[in-house]
């Protein structure tokens, strides 16, 4: 099955700096890569996603890049703010015989230092 590796497990950056979180996946058939943000005790919330037919997608301060050849994708957050502090999960899914759940990375705890 699919295996998603996520790095780093913890990332501390100064407010205003950029943060980059990287994920790799194992199954070349995977074609959908969402990123979720989860604050303590709350639900995972989709912040951005990318499909395999594009290499980059941007939404204000958040961007995601995808390299299908290398099977990795990254989340970029610019001008970080204290409210960006949370755990971020990458995930991957692929077409299958029926509905497919997501395979998540282990998460990155992002800490924004004031």
Other Cβ atoms within 10 Å of 101 Cβ, number: 8
Q: Rounded distance, CA 3 to CA 92, Å?
A: 9
Q: Could you tell me the smallest distance in angstroms from the CB atom of residue 79 to other proteins?
A: 26
Binding other proteins (rule: CB under 8 A), the pick from 3, 55, 95, 113 is 95
Quote the tokens at residue 17. 């700096």
Give the chain's end-to-end CA distance (angstroms, integer).
41
Of 12-20, 29-37, 58-66, 72-80, the segment contacting other proteins by CB under 8 A is 29-37
**26 touches other proteins (CB under 8 A):** no
Binding other proteins (rule: CB under 8 A), the pick from 30, 74, 80, 85 is 30
Other Cβ atoms within 10 Å of 27 Cβ, number: 15
Residues in the site for other proteins, rule: CB under 8 A?
A: 30-32, 34, 36, 41-46, 49, 51, 89, 93-96, 98-107
């Amino acid at each position: 099955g699919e295996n998603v590796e996520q790095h780093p497990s913890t990332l501390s950056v100064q407010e205003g700096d950029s943060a980059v979180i990287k994920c790799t996946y194992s199954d070349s058939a995977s074609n959908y890569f969402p990123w979720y943000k989860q604050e303590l005790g709350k639900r995972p919330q989709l912040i951005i996603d990318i499909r395999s037919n594009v290499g980059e997608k941007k939404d204000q301060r958040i961007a995601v890049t995808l390299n299908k050849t290398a099977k990795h994708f990254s989340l970029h957050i610019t001008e970080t703010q204290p409210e960006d502090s949370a755990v971020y999960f990458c995930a991957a899914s692929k077409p299958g015989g029926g509905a497919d759940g997501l395979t998540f990375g282990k998460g990155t705890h992002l800490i924004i230092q004031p």
